[in-house]
Structure 1
Amino acid sequence: MQTLKSQHLGALYTFSEVGRHSTLTSAAKAMHLTTGAVSQQLLQLEQQLGFTLLERHSRGIRLTEKGKQLHQNVSFHLAEIDAEIASLQRNTGKKQEIRLKLTPSFAFKWLVPKLESFHDVDPDIQVQIFAEGALVNADTRDFDLAIDYRPHTFKHPNAELLLDEYLLPVMNPRYLERHQWLQNDAGKAEHWLGVTLLHDAMPWEKAEKDLEWRNWAKAMQLSVPTDRGHFFNRTDMAMSAAEAGVGIAMARMALIDNELETGRLVSPFSPIKANAGYYLISNVQDESTESFVKWLKGMIG
């Protein structure tokens, strides 16, 4: 270890956090430090390394090519260290804890309402839920378990299909009343030009923003333009907009049980296969994760 010095370690952690943000201010806030302190650490690190990590401009910061390469490696190895420490702590008899990563939509609409029943089954296991981004990065090791929505071509060595998904256009009852043709004449393409489509524009990484509506229209043999309406980066936001009467959302059946049961959302259609589903990705296998996975599969039935 001739190149890496002890004074680099703290600054490398700071750099790994800064690389997740678009500005130094937001990064400093996340780390509970001043912007000046973060900036000074990065400047010193760049001087010690002998190359530039960040390009600073009026709108924020951007990683240089060398910065991107270093950030990818530092972030990966810090996550590996964190995972190893967590594993060692579990083996020393400390309180059992599961780090669960998933999308906010699945957390809010499916998992959280059911989580109390897991506490009844195994009250000694704490579940730490991380639902920060619209997408889950399954390639890191900073979690024990993850649940991610993916197309059925998804391949991952530690993944298994947990729940198959179906798509259903939904709206609030008043919206359906104003568009009676949806109940008996939905096959006419010209009718669809008069409604607002609500999209989850990021069902998974690199998906086209109107993918779900386009797949539904194809299955229904409808020739309608789907690249229009309002686009959200989370499916629960699209469903909330539909509930507010903004338009018709392409909803996922796993996430709308309560809305359909209470009549807050309605649909004159039948669900179709989404050709996608929720995949369980396991980085850690121990008694705690096995207990949680058993409960999870039991809830799905």
Structure 2
Amino acid sequence: MRHAYTPTVAELEAFCACARGGTTIQAARQLGLTQSAVSRSITGLEARLGVALFSRARQRLTLSDAGRAFLREAEPLLDRLNDAAMTVMAFGGQARVLRLAVLPTFARLWLIPRLRGFQATMPDLTIDMAARLAPVDFETEPFDLAIQRTQHRSAGARHIHLLDEELCVVAAPALAPGSLSPRAVLRLPLLQQSTRPTLWPDWCRAVGLDPRPALRGARFDHFDMVLDAAVAGLGVALIPEILARSALDRQALLRVVPGDFRTGQAYTLIYPDRSADLPHFARFRGWLQAEIEDIWA
């Protein structure tokens, strides 16, 4: 039940627009309303709350202390309402939506190129995908599943192992036309993944080298940036083999050190209990596991 003191959406929009613009004229232009309509909304809101939200001087509106406190709550409310509307609009007339949180490079280089095959099996399904590096809180976020590494496991969620993470050392042919010793690799520029800064030092320890020189080199946020930088010849990359496979197949990159380096992490399908009963989730899970199995076929 809506209480008498609960603002309407129109009042919240007028308030936030006036707070940003400083005048009812600017707010009216932003909202596509008349100035008198905005003024009525502000007057009605202040009467509803029983407090002045603005001080007025020479047609300028300045937030009062109460107004500043209210703005901190009003803007997120409108943002959440907008997000909720867009979530529903994502159905686009379809009966079902599958919401995925996926590691950004895995999504771009591996999952998205294969999704057409899955969607052909469920034409009435809409995909809603978001890139996510942090663990998903399925209690507060609307995702049906996440595809992330072992370290992103969520409390209270189920987890299915997809494949172990194995990294390969790669470089553009112009930079390293043949195999190199691990020590020779360290004499070349090393491309760093800034959200996982220990990868090169861990690799050095695994091959018996001093890890201290391994932190030098250009830094990039995501593996796809590291991969692109390696293809451009900017340095040597330590990349998950599953993400580098396409570039290796077309010989845009070459393995410069034989073998793979296991990080102890694994790509994992993470999902809440509520998803287990969704038929489109079950179909996606089966399809995904089959695609992963095809990698080793």
Matched, 1:292 2:281: no
Structural mapping, 1:193-272, within 5 Å: 193-203=186-196, 210-224=197-211, 225-267=213-255, 268-272=257-261
Residue matched to 1:279: 268
Alignment CA distance shift 1:173-1:4 (3 Å): farther
What is the alpha-carbon distance in structure 1 between the residues aligned to residue 83 and residue 30 of structure 2? 29
Q: Please give the root-mean-square deviation of Cα atoms over the aligned residues, in Å.
A: 4.3
The Cα of 1:34 is off from its aligned counterpart by: 10
What is the alpha-carbon distance in structure 1 between the residues aligned to residue 98 and residue 121 of structure 2? 15
- Counterpart code for 2:8: Q
Alignment CA distance shift 1:10-1:290 (3 Å): farther
- Alpha carbons 2:154, 2:270 under 8 Å: kept: no
The Cα of 1:251 is off from its aligned counterpart by: 0.3
2:66 to 23, 26, 50: 50
Per-residue displacement from partner, 1:195-232 (whole Å, max 9, x unpaired)? 111122124xxxxxx21112111111110422210111
The Cα of 1:3 is off from its aligned counterpart by: 10
Q: Secondary structure at the match of 1:280?
A: strand
The Cα of 1:150 is off from its aligned counterpart by: 4.2
What is the alpha-carbon distance in structure 1 between the residues aligned to residue 281 and residue 110 of structure 2? 19
- Alpha carbons 1:83, 1:141 under 8 Å: kept: no
The count of corresponding residues between Structure 1 and Structure 2 is 248
What is the alpha-carbon distance in structure 2 between the residues aligned to residue 214 and residue 226 of structure 1? 6
Residue matched to 2:165: 165
Q: Secondary structure at the match of 1:216?
A: helix
TM-score by length of 1: 0.66
Residue matched to 1:30: none
- Counterpart code for 2:220: F
What is the alpha-carbon distance in structure 2 between the residues aligned to residue 75 and residue 137 of structure 1? 25
The Cα of 1:123 is off from its aligned counterpart by: 2.5
What is the alpha-carbon distance in structure 2 between the residues aligned to residue 166 and residue 149 of structure 1? 12
Per-residue displacement from partner, 1:83-125 (whole Å, max 9, x unpaired)? 9979xx9xxx952221222132111111011112112322222
- Counterpart code for 2:155: H
Alignment CA distance shift 1:51-1:280 (3 Å): farther
Alignment CA distance shift 1:84-1:249 (3 Å): closer
- Counterpart code for 1:6: P
What is the alpha-carbon distance in structure 1 between the residues aligned to residue 291 and residue 127 of structure 2? 16
Residue matched to 2:176: 176
The Cα of 1:176 is off from its aligned counterpart by: 1.2
Per-residue displacement from partner, 1:49-93 (whole Å, max 9, x unpaired)? 937469xxxxxxxxxxx95xx69x96998799789979xx9xxx9
The Cα of 1:162 is off from its aligned counterpart by: 2.8
The Cα of 1:233 is off from its aligned counterpart by: 0.8
Alignment CA distance shift 1:175-1:288 (3 Å): same
What is the alpha-carbon distance in structure 1 between the residues aligned to residue 200 and residue 165 of structure 2? 14
Alignment CA distance shift 1:288-1:192 (3 Å): closer
TM-score by length of 2: 0.67
Residue matched to 1:61: none
What is the alpha-carbon distance in structure 2 between the residues aligned to residue 124 and residue 97 of structure 1? 9
The Cα of 1:35 is off from its aligned counterpart by: 11
Residue matched to 1:96: 96
- Counterpart code for 1:118: F
- Alpha carbons 1:199, 1:232 under 8 Å: kept: yes
Residue matched to 1:116: 116
Q: Secondary structure at the match of 2:219?
A: strand
What is the alpha-carbon distance in structure 1 between the residues aligned to residue 236 and residue 171 of structure 2? 5
Alignment CA distance shift 1:196-1:84 (3 Å): closer
What is the alpha-carbon distance in structure 1 between the residues aligned to residue 135 and residue 226 of structure 2? 22
